[in-house]
C-alpha cells in the first residue's frame, strides 16, 4: 500500500499532499504559540532541521539543504570535461611536461570559444541544469509565462554564464577553460594594468598574468612548429601554401623613474602575419607560368575602358540597395529582426556569387615582430627574409613559386621599389605585392563617395576634388555623369 502510494499509482499522490501540508495554516507558527521564534526559520541554512517543529519551516529548510547538496554536486561535475563534446576542455594548461596528460591550450580552443556556446553547454549538460535554473532565477529581470525575459542591454544569460564559470574555478582552480583562460589572454592583449589583473584574478574571473603569458608562449611555439611542418609538406607537394601581411608598428615607452641615460623612446618595427591560402587553383603561384605571362605583355591591351566594360551593372543594382538596407537596419534597433532576412538575400541567388564554403575560417599565424623599419629599403628586405625564415620557407624550395606579400600603401610601394632594385642581382626574387583591401577600399572608395555628391551638386570638376592618388587614376578615363549615376540606387 505504501509502495503503491509512493510510486504515484493511487488516486491521491504526493503532489496533492505536500502543497496542502506546506500551505496549511497550522503548519506555520502563530505569534502567540510557544514556537513563535520559528517564524524566522524559513529557508534557513544554519542549525539542524530536526530541531524545527512546525511543518512549513521544516519543509522549507529541508528542501534548501537538499537543493544545496544537489547544486554542489552538479557544479562539481561541471569542473570535469564534457564527455559528449571532445572539443570542449574545462582544464586548459599553459604548459605541461611529458608525464602529464593534461590538455595544453591551443589557438583552436580560443577560436572555438563563445559565450553562446558556453551557455548552451551549461544547459545541455544535465549535471548543471539545477544550478543554471537557480542562477537564472537570481539574474533574470522578469518572467513571463514561466520563461525568463532577456534584456537587450546586459542580457542575463551572459552574466549567468560568467558567474557559473567563476563558481567552477572556485571549486577547482585548474578548471579555467570555460572563461578564465580566455579573459586572461584578452586582458594581456588589451595591456591591462597589473593591479587590474591581480584583483580580477582573486575574484575568479580569469587566470593570473603569468599563466596568460605562459599560455601565449606555449601556443605560439606549438603553432609555429605546425606552420613550418605544413609549409614544408606543401612545398614538397608543389604548392605555395601561405602569404604574408606586413604592417609597421610603433610603441612609445615612457620612463617611470628618471635617471642617467634614461629617456622616453619610440620603438618601431615590422609585424607580420602568415595567412594560409585556401581554395587556390593548382599552380596558381607557379613562378615560371607568371614570368611567361609577363613576357607576352598582354597587359598592354588592358585599358580603363576594358575594365569599365567588365562591370556588371545589373548585379550592382541588386547588391547596392541591399547594402543600404543593411546599414539602415543596423542603425535602428527596431529593425534588427529584419537583419537575418537581409543576410539570407545576400547568401542566395542571384546576389550571391562564388560564395565561400560554409564554416570556412581564415587560418592565420602571427609571426615574431622584428625591429626593422619597413619604410627603408634594406629594412624591408631584412624584415621579409626574417619572416620567411620563421615560416620555414627554404630558398631552394621556394624559387619555383611566387610569394604573395600584402601591406599598407607604404609597405606596398617599398616592396615594389625593393623588387626593382634587386631584380638585376636576384636577391629578392618572385615577390608579388598587392595593397591590402582596407587601404584600397576604405581609403579610396570613401574619398570618392565623399567627393562625388559635392561635385554633383555644385558642378565642380570631379578630378579637382579627388585626392592625388585617385585623381591620377581617373585622368586617363573621364567618367561621365551617366557612368557615375549607374552606381546610384
Domain assignments of the chain as residue spans, ordered by start: 79-217, 238-252+265-298+362-435, 438-485
Query: Tell me, what's the pLDDT at 468?
Result: 44
Angle among Cα 235, 110, 209 to the nearest 5 degrees reads: 115
Query: Tell me, what's the pLDDT at 3?
Result: 78
d(CA 485, CA 193): 52
Q: Does 350 sit behind a cis peptide bond, omega within 30 degrees of 0 on the bond before it?
A: yes
pLDDT tens series, the chain, 489 aa: 677 767 777 777 777 888 888 888 877 887 777 777 777 778 887 777 777 878 888 888 888 888 888 888 888 888 888 888 888 888 888 877 666 677 888 888 888 888 888 888 888 875 557 888 888 888 888 888 888 888 888 888 888 888 889 999 999 888 888 889 999 999 998 888 889 999 989 988 889 888 999 999 888 888 899 999 999 999 888 889 999 999 888 888 888 787 887 888 888 999 999 999 888 888 889 989 888 988 898 888 888 888 888 889 999 999 999 988 988 898 888 888 899 999 999 988 888 888 877 777 888 888 988 989 888 889 999 999 999 999 999 888 888 899 999 988 888 888 999 988 888 777 888 888 888 776 665 565 555 555 544 444 445 454 444 444 444 444 444 444 444 444 443
User: Is residue 131 within 8 Å of residue 75, measured between CB atoms?
Assistant: yes
- The dihedral over CA atoms of 37, 39, 41, 47, expressed in degrees to the nearest 10, equals 20
Instruction: Tell the residue number behind the cell numbers 622584428, with chain if given.
Output: 370
User: Is residue 123 within 8 Å of residue 134, measured between CB atoms?
Assistant: no
Beta bridge partners of 401: 286
What are the b/e assignments for 424-447, b being 16+ CB within 10 Å? Answer: eeeebebbebebbeebeeebbeeb
Whole-structure pTM value: 0.70
Supply φ then ψ for residue 6, to 5 degrees: -70, -30
Query: Tell me, what's the pLDDT at 114?
Result: 86
Instruction: Tell the residue number behind the cell numbers 616592396, with chain if given.
Output: 415
Amino acid at each position: 500500500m505504501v509502495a503503491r502510494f509512493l510510486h504515484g499509482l493511487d488516486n491521491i499522490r504526493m503532489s496533492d499532499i505536500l502543497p496542502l501540508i506546506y500551505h496549511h495554516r497550522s503548519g506555520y507558527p502563530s505569534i502567540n504559540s510557544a514556537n513563535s521564534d520559528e517564524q524566522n526559520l524559513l529557508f534557513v541554512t544554519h542549525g539542524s532541521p530536526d530541531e524545527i517543529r512546525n511543518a512549513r519551516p521544516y519543509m522549507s529548510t529541508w528542501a534548501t539543504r537538499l537543493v544545496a547538496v544537489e547544486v554542489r554536486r552538479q557544479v562539481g561535475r561541471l569542473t570535469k570535461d564534457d564527455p559528449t563534446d571532445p572539443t570542449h576542455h574545462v582544464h586548459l594548461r599553459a604548459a605541461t611536461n611529458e608525464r602529464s596528460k593534461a590538455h595544453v591550450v591551443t589557438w583552436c580552443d580560443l577560436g572555438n570559444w563563445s559565450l553562446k556556446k558556453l551557455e548552451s553547454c551549461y544547459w545541455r549538460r544535465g549535471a548543471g541544469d539545477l544550478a543554471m535554473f537557480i542562477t537564472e532565477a537570481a539574474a533574470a529581470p522578469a518572467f513571463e509565462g514561466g520563461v525568463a525575459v532577456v534584456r537587450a542591454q546586459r542580457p542575463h544569460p551572459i552574466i549567468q554564464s560568467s558567474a557559473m564559470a567563476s563558481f567552477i574555478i572556485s571549486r577547482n582552480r585548474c578548471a579555467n577553460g570555460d572563461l578564465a583562460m580566455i579573459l586572461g589572454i584578452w586582458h594581456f592583449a588589451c595591456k591591462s594594468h597589473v593591479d587590474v589583473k591581480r584583483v580580477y584574478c582573486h575574484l575568479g574571473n580569469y587566470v593570473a598574468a603569468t599563466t596568460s603569458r605562459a599560455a601565449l608562449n606555449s601556443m605560439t611555439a606549438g603553432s609555429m612548429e605546425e606552420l613550418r611542418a605544413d609549409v614544408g609538406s606543401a612545398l614538397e607537394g608543389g604548392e605555395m601554401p601561405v602569404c604574408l601581411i606586413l604592417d609597421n608598428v610603433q610603441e612609445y615607452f615612457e620612463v617611470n623613474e628618471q635617471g642617467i641615460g634614461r629617456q622616453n623612446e619610440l620603438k618601431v618595427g615590422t609585424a607580420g602575419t602568415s595567412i594560409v591560402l585556401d581554395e587556390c587553383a593548382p599552380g596558381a603561384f607557379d613562378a615560371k607560368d607568371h614570368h611567361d605571362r609577363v613576357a607576352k605583355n598582354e597587359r598592354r591591351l588592358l585599358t580603363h575602358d576594358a575594365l569599365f566594360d567588365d562591370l556588371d551593372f545589373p548585379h550592382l543594382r541588386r547588391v547596392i540597395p541591399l547594402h543600404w538596407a543593411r546599414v539602415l537596419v543596423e542603425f535602428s534597433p527596431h529593425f534588427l529582426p529584419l537583419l537575418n532576412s537581409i543576410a539570407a538575400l545576400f547568401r542566395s541567388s542571384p546576389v550571391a556569387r562564388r560564395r565561400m564554403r560554409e564554416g570556412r575560417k581564415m587560418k592565420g599565424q602571427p609571426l615574431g615582430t622584428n625591429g626593422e623599419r619597413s619604410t627603408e629599403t634594406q629594412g624591408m628586405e631584412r624584415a621579409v627574409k626574417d619572416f620567411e625564415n620563421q615560416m620555414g620557407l627554404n630558398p631552394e624550395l621556394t624559387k619555383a613559386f611566387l610569394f604573395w606579400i600584402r601591406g599598407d600603401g607604404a609597405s606596398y610601394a617599398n616592396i615594389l621599389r625593393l623588387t626593382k632594385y634587386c631584380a638585376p642581382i636576384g636577391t629578392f626574387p618572385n615577390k608579388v605585392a598587392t595593397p591590402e583591401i582596407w587601404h584600397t577600399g576604405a581609403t579610396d572608395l570613401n574619398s570618392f563617395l565623399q567627393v562625388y555628391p559635392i561635385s554633383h551638386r555644385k558642378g565642380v570638376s570631379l578630378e579637382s576634388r579627388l585626392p592625388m592618388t585617385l585623381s591620377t587614376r581617373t585622368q586617363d578615363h573621364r567618367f561621365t555623369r551617366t557612368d557615375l549615376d549607374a552606381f546610384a540606387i
